[in-house]
Homo-oligomer: A and B are copies of this chain.
Amino acid sequence: MLIHELTTQECWRMLARNHIAHLACARDNQPYIVPVRVDLDGEFLYGYATLGRKIEWMRTNPLVCLECDELTTDRQWATVIVFGHYQELSHTPENEGARQVAERLFQKHPMWWEPATLPLAGHERRPPIVFRIHVDSLTGRRTLQEASTPERPEPTPGSERRRWPTRMWRRLIGD
Contacts and interface: CB of A to CB of B under 8 A. Distances in A.
A115 B118 CA distance: 37
Contacts of A158: 107
B32 A24 contact: yes
Given A109-B164, A159-B110, A166-B109, A22 B17 contact: no
A43 interface: no
Interface string A127-159: 000000000000001011000001111011011
A51 interface: no
Contact of A67 (B34, B103, B153): B34
Interface of A: 1-5, 17-20, 22-35, 37, 61, 63-71, 74-75, 79, 81, 83, 103, 107-111, 113-115, 118-121, 125, 141, 143-144, 150-153, 155-156, 158-164, 166-169, 171-172, 174
